[in-house]
Amino acid sequence: MTGDARQGTVQRVGQVIALAGVAALLALLVWKVAFGNEEGAADELARGKVVDAPAFDLDRLDQDGTLSIADLRGKPVVVNFWASWCIPCRDEAPVLEQTYRRYRDKGLVVLGIDVNDFRADARRFMGKYGLTYPIVYDGKGSTVGKWGVRGFPETFFVDRSGKLVGERISGPVDIERNRDAYERGIALALGSKQ
Amino acid sequence: MSIRAVVAVVVVVLAAASAARAAPNPSDLEAELVCPTCDTTLDQSNAPIAQRMKQLIRQHIAAGWTEERIKADLVDQFGPGVLAEPPKSGFDLLAWLLPLGLLVAGALGVGVIAWGWSRRRDDPAEEAADDRPLDPELERRLDAELERYEA
């Protein structure tokens, strides 16, 4: 191979490598734009879509073992995202406990998902407010994106078939501005017509 | 003072110095850990969970925990995302190696291009090509243009 030919080959290889690098970066950008901002279930629900409650399998704080959304299939569920450092969560904790006691004979489960919190702080909170409903621990916040949670507390309603029903409640439940939505969500989860 | 007493004093002083060195600095730790709800380091966040984490870090330091133990406890609660810098092991090692690899590849690429340019400049055949006489027709047109320009 002559010097010119070798030089040409080296340059072509360099160009191919540079082009491959640019193509890889472009592909990453396209992937990020297409899939990086994945919608949470709450956003789909707000647009009127029928949405399955996003899956999770998390350690329980109220007892040993884990609990997944699949374990609750066949039961109406009120899913509440909370944390011990969240001040409005303190206001709604007694309401959620009351809801659980009132409807558990009808099969309704209130499920707390404790997010971005210390386990010990969460357990202290549960003891302080006398919470008896099941609570799972999500320190890493792995459920937040899938469910489309934007702040704490937030509450969702899941019917017996595992579908989200009603509307997402942002902020503490059963206050004046969302009392109707809270009661409607429970009724829809239970399968009563509203 | 006996030699034994001097040795004992030296040992105690060294042990105290070592213990002082081992105690983590809360400010350093706050700069190396991320608030899970706001994605900034703890030292730049006043979010409730960040404040609670700072408080617990100080409590753990007071209880004699090492930096490694404090970080391990926080990773256990909040996952590896709580560390501002990814761990230098396993899959996370890629985060450290990839930029270095890209830097080396970039330097190699620049080297190859520079080498190609210098080869072309030193190439006698290319130099000879530069010295070739112009095409007579082109030379005639160039002269005509220059004459017109000067006029």
Tell me the mean pLDDT in the region A173-183: 90
C-beta separation of B91 from B63 below 8 A: no
In angstroms, the CA B134 to CA A4 distance is: 24
Element (H, E) at A78: strand A77-82
Residues paired with residue B81 on neighbouring β-strands, in sequence order: none
User: From CA B91, how far away is CA B15, in angstroms rounded?
Assistant: 38
| Domains of chain B, start order | 23-85 (1.10.8.640), 92-150 (no CATH)
Closest chain B residue to A122, measured at CA: B77
CA–CA separation, A93 and A128 (whole Å): 10
Whether pLDDT at B86 is above 90: no
CA nearest B37 in A: which residue? A116
Structural element, H or E, at residue A3: helix A3-35
Q: Between A7, A87, A140, which is nearest B81 by CB?
A: A140
Record the pTM.
0.71
User: Which of A14, A18, A141 minimises the CB distance to B36?
Assistant: A141
Contacts of A117 in chain B (CB under 8 A): 49, 77
How would you classify the pairing of strands A154-158 and A164-170? antiparallel
Residue pLDDT, tens place only, B22-68: 688 999 999 999 999 988 999 999 999 999 999 999 999 999 999 99
Pairing of strands A77-82, A154-158: antiparallel
Tell whether the model's pLDDT for residue B78 goes beyond 60: yes
| Sequential DSSP letters for B17-51 | HHHHHHSPPHHHHHHHBB-TTT-SBGGG---HHHH
Please tell me which of the candidates B48, B105, B112 has its beta carbon nearest to residue A85.
Answer: B48
Contact assignment for B49 to A11 by CB distance below 8 Å: no
Residue type, B37: T
Residues of B in contact with A3 (CB under 8 A): 119, 123
Mean pLDDT of chain A: 91
How confident is residue B21, by pLDDT bands cut at 50, 70 and 90?
low
* Digit-coded pLDDT (tens) for B124-138: 776 676 677 778 888
Calpha distance B32→B30 (Å, rounded): 5
**DSSP H or E segment with residue A66:** strand A66-68
